[in-house]
Each structure stands twice: as structure tokens, then as C-alpha cells.
Structure 1
Amino acid sequence: MKPALLTLALMLSALSCTAGTTQQPEEAGKVHWGRILETALASSAQTGKPVFALFQEIPGCAGCKQFGRDVMSNPLLVEAVETEFTPLLIHNNKGGRDAEVMQRFGEPAWNYQVVRFLNAQGEDLIPRKDQVWDTTGIAERMVAALTQAKRPVPGCLTLLAAEQSPRLKQAVFAMYCFWTGEMALGQIDGVITTEAGFMGGHEVKLVKYDPDVISLPHLITAAEKVQCANAVSVPATDLPTARTTRLKVGTISGYRMAPASDQKKQISGTPAEKLALSPAQATKVNAWIRTAPAKALNFLTKSQQAKLKTGV
């Protein structure tokens, strides 16, 4: 083959390999987006799923790209958007159809990213809010939108909303066996994550909990009921609250995490150990996988449940 013809053949081959594939903008993350408002609203009317409308600058600034990489590429959040909502992407720096949608909703051009949650009539399910740019904030608003729409809220989404929340507090419980403690404490509502560790020469469990769900005194009482609280240590600011209980109380000092082989021992040897779980998911699956597998499934995404059932 002549050099010119060979070059042309190689070019055509390269084009054929890339034909039909479009590189998704970094600012949009990994969600499979719809781009037409009317289609999204019609889908919402048919399925009952709210519209997750992302108004985003594409191409955008460094902050827009980081939002796409860190938030809209989080695998748990991506799956929740695609399974529980109707995804819609509007470019806030373009003309044509995008500009018409922005005008309809009063969105400013070239603005930082904004997510709005719409019903099938295009009305906001919850009030519009600016500067919600992290996974926790977006997940919290997803929970609120589903609740307002009277749709079921997946347990994995509730955990995602709580896992990195700044309101979480921590406590360290001393007990006879942190493997048992991790399972029993993980079953308590309001406990988000658990971790096996050592402190003061004892096996302990580091617990992160949501004070909006369970108060420290109620957490201590629940831990005592499952025999996982020989003593409790908390940050110094929480000592007055902890001392309202009858348990021996101290401050967290010298804590160190146990080896990975001592973490989430109940999951070991089950099909769930092959799953990529977030720390909060691992806590809840570890808590229930041996005693109530159906409850453990509630904290997995649909794709994770499918993998668990097939053993992949």
C-alpha cells in the first residue's frame, strides 16, 4: 500500500473506533445525563421520579471541574441519581435550548453549579439553594427531595448524606471483644461508622454517631444494653453530657486503630467481602450480614445487591 493510502487508512480506522463515542465533560461527572427539559419532565410524570437538574458551566472553571470529579463522580451518588431521579444537565453558559431553560427557572448565566429538584410540572420540590458543592450537601438535599415527593429513600443514600457530615460526633467504648462490639454497636440507629482499636491497653470501638438521630446518653444506654460499654471515652467538650450516665467516663486519649484484619470481621467469609463498600456501608453490612441479611441489603445500592446475589 502506498504511504499516502496507508496514512488515510489509519486515519479512517481511528475515526471508526471513536465514532459514536463522546467524551463526557469533566464538569458533568459520571452521571448519564438527559439534556432536554421536556423529555425529563415527561419521564418524571411517567415514573414518579423527581428531576435532578444540574445547572453547570461547561466548559467551566477549576471549581466546576472539581465538583464533577469529586461529587458527581462519587459512585454511590451517581447510582442514586440515575436510579432514584431523572437526571437533567443544563449548560449555564450556552445559548439556544439551554438559555431558554435558564430563563424559565431564573438561573443566572455563567453561575457556579446549582442542583434543583423538580416535580413533573417543573416546580421545585425543595427550595433552591446556592453553594451546595460537596457530596454530603447534595446527598442531604436528595433525601429531602425524595421525602417531599413521597418516594422511598434508599438506606445507602441516607448513609452517604450522613457519612461526612460535620455534625457527627465520636465516642470510644471499651469492651471485652471489639469484633462483637463492632457488630452490636453498628446495629444501633444513629451510629454511622465503627472502627476496632486499642486505647489504654483495652480493645475498644471508635464510634461516629449522628446526634440528630441519637443523643450521647441514649447511645451509651444502648451500648450498655448490648454489653459493649465497660467504659466510654469522649471529647472533652462532651464530658458533661456523658457524665449524666452511670458509666465510667473519660476523655479520648492515645487511641490507635487496630489492624485491617481486625476490622469488619463479620463480613469476612461472606459474599459481601467482595463488594466495594463505603465506611458507613461496611459498618451496617457488618452489623447485620450474619443475623439479618435482609437488613444488610437495605444499605446496598441496587448494583451492589445484584453483585451480592450473583456472587460477582
Structure 2
Amino acid sequence: MIHARKANNLPVPPYLNILAEETPLTKCTCTKQTHHLPAFNPPFSDANPTHAFFAVHCTTAAEIHFANLSGVIDTEAGFLNHHKTLMITYDSKRLSYGKLVHHAISHNAANTVYFHTNDQKAVAQINMMNARVSYTRLVQFDAAEHTFVKTVDRKHYLRNTIIKSVPLSPLQKARANAYIAQGQFHEATRLLSPRQGLILRFSQSNKSLTDIVHSFEPVDVNIQKAWFMLSDAG
């Protein structure tokens, strides 16, 4: 759809760009030509995510720092063994671990960098040396010892607006939260698809839907579950 719109010199809505970022390209072999079609399944299911963890001074600010970095799919504020930590889900084909570390250090957004492998450790050390930082620690992530717990106030700015009533994808949540934090509410609404826009407008004027939304908070659940819950309630 994006290629078709570009070929016809039509603008591409922001929500389609987000969909393209969240959806991997798969090859279709049904013809002699090679086509790129979005896979049916979401690319970053719980079965095979690519995560990075950074202990931070403020998770609310850290979510904003990483939201618009190309390749970041989701940000989650939480605690890792009682330390304020940001968990980032990213597409390692478009964004390297090294660039993530560089971004964290250059924005003074991390006081601890967690690594999973010796290669990641070496990359982090090089970035820290080049930036001449001495205040950032390196800690090996151990799933047996480190437990990540999400905070109840993640996506702080988003959850304090009516957009929290709309089922959103992880990247939509991250980008909308960043826009709202910067005072750009209108830009946040432009991330919505036409159907999501209808839900937003309907929730502003329909008390019964507002009551339904408040019973489970779409911002706290994945987009598929939020859609089903709203559909069942309607």
C-alpha cells in the first residue's frame, strides 16, 4: 500500500509508516517477481523479541529519548532488581546494539548498561570509551537473577490523555507518548488509523464506552486484546 501511494505521488499516512516499521518483509514466491508483503504474524511476539535494558535516572524521560529512534519498536518503563530501568524492544536488522548504547550515553539516559554477550560488552565498552564517560556501569544481564517488573505509570504522558482509550500498537504508544510529552497532541492523533480515530472521537462523546475503557485501560494491554475487549463490550 505504501509503495502504491508513493508511486502515485500520494502522501503516506503516519500510521502506515508505523505499520511498515513493525511488520517484517517476507518474500512471496507466487510469481517470478519478488514481492515484499507484510507477514501475517506480528514480528516481535513474546517468542522471539530482541531486548536491551538500561538502568536510568528517570524512566518517564528515558521512554521519550528512545521513542523516535529508528528501529525501536517498543519502550517499557519498569524496575530491574529495584533499579529504575527501561526495556527496549528493537529490530536488530535496522538498529544495532551499539547504536542503542551510543544513543543512551549521548543523551545521558543510562547509568547502567546491561549486556547479554561478550560481543555486546565489547561494543558498550568502545562506546563508553569514545564518549569518555566514567559514570556508566556495565552489568551482564542474567535472566536467573534479573527480574524486570513494569511500572504502573509507564507511557506517563499518553495515559493522561484521551488517546489512552484507543487500542494502539507498541510503536504507536511509544511515539504518541513522546509527541504528547513535547506538547504535540495533534501529531500524536495523526499516528492513528481511520478506525482508531473513530474510536477516539466516539470515546470523547460516549459515556458508556468511556466506562468500558476505564475498566481495563487499552494503554495497558496489547492491541489485539484491546480490540477484542472493545468489540465484545460493544
Determine what percentage of the aligned residue pairs are the same residue: 27
Q: Give, as a single letter, the amino acid of the residue that structure 1 aligns with 2:127.
A: T
**Contact 1:170/1:235 (8 A) holds in 2:** no
Residue equivalent to 2:18: 159
1:176 to 57, 67, 88: 57
Q: Secondary structure at the match of 2:159?
A: coil
Give, in angstroms, the shift of residue 202 of structure 1.
0.7
Query: Deviation string for 1:116-153 (max 9, x for gaps)?
Result: xxxxxxxxxxxxxxxxxxxxxxxxxx445555555443
**Contact 1:281/1:299 (8 A) holds in 2:** yes
Q: Given the alignment of the two structures, is residue 227 of structure 1 paired with residue 140 of structure 2, yes or no?
A: no
Q: Given the alignment of the two structures, is residue 238 of structure 1 paired with residue 120 of structure 2, yes or no?
A: yes
Residue equivalent to 1:33: none
Q: Secondary structure at the match of 1:243?
A: helix
Residue equivalent to 1:208: 89
Q: Given the alignment of the two structures, is residue 186 of structure 1 paired with residue 43 of structure 2, yes or no?
A: no
Give, in angstroms, the shift of residue 282 of structure 1.
1.1
Q: Given the alignment of the two structures, is residue 296 of structure 1 paired with residue 174 of structure 2, yes or no?
A: no
Deviates more, 1:218-227 or 1:158-167: 158-167
Give, in angstroms, the shift of residue 173 of structure 1.
1.1
Give, in angstroms, the shift of residue 264 of structure 1.
1.2
Query: Deviation string for 1:88-121 (max 9, x for gaps)?
Result: xxxxxxxxxxxxxxxxxxxxxxxxxxxxxxxxxx
2:156 to 265, 284, 287: 265
Query: Deviation string for 1:254-278 (max 9, x for gaps)?
Result: 131224x222111122111111112
Return the alpha-carbon distance in structure 1 between the equivalents of residues 16 and 126 of structure 2: 33
What count of residue pairs does the alignment treat as equivalent? 170
**Contact 2:63/2:76 (8 A) holds in 1:** yes
**Contact 1:168/1:211 (8 A) holds in 2:** no
Normalising by structure 1, report the TM-score: 0.47
Return the alpha-carbon distance in structure 2 between the equivalents of residues 162 and 250 of structure 1: 30
Deviates more, 1:187-196 or 1:211-220: 211-220
Return the alpha-carbon distance in structure 1 between the equivalents of residues 93 and 6 of structure 2: 17
Q: Given the alignment of the two structures, is residue 274 of structure 1 paired with residue 165 of structure 2, yes or no?
A: yes
* RMSD (Å), alpha carbons: 2.8
Return the alpha-carbon distance in structure 2 between the equivalents of residues 238 and 206 of structure 1: 16
Q: Secondary structure at the match of 2:53?
A: strand
**Contact 1:195/1:257 (8 A) holds in 2:** no
Q: Give, as a single letter, the amino acid of the residue that structure 2 aligns with 1:165.
A: P
2:138 to 246, 249, 257: 249
Q: 1:276 to 1:205 in 2, by over 3 A?
A: same
Q: Give, as a single letter, the amino acid of the residue that structure 1 aligns with 2:61.
A: T
Q: Secondary structure at the match of 1:227?
A: coil
Q: 1:298 to 1:273 in 2, by over 3 A?
A: same
Query: Deviation string for 1:136-195 (max 9, x for gaps)?
Result: xxxxxx445555555443332333344343696321111112122222221323221001
Q: 1:152 to 1:168 in 2, by over 3 A?
A: farther
Name stretches of at least 5 consecutive residues in structure 2 with no aligned partner: 23-41, 129-135, 206-234
Q: 1:307 to 1:168 in 2, by over 3 A?
A: same
Return the alpha-carbon distance in structure 2 between the equivalents of residues 298 and 243 of structure 1: 39
Give, in angstroms, the shift of residue 229 of structure 1.
1.2
**Contact 2:114/2:141 (8 A) holds in 1:** yes
Return the alpha-carbon distance in structure 2 between the equivalents of residues 290 and 281 of structure 1: 14
Normalising by structure 2, report the TM-score: 0.61
Q: Secondary structure at the match of 1:188?
A: coil
Q: 1:285 to 1:248 in 2, by over 3 A?
A: same
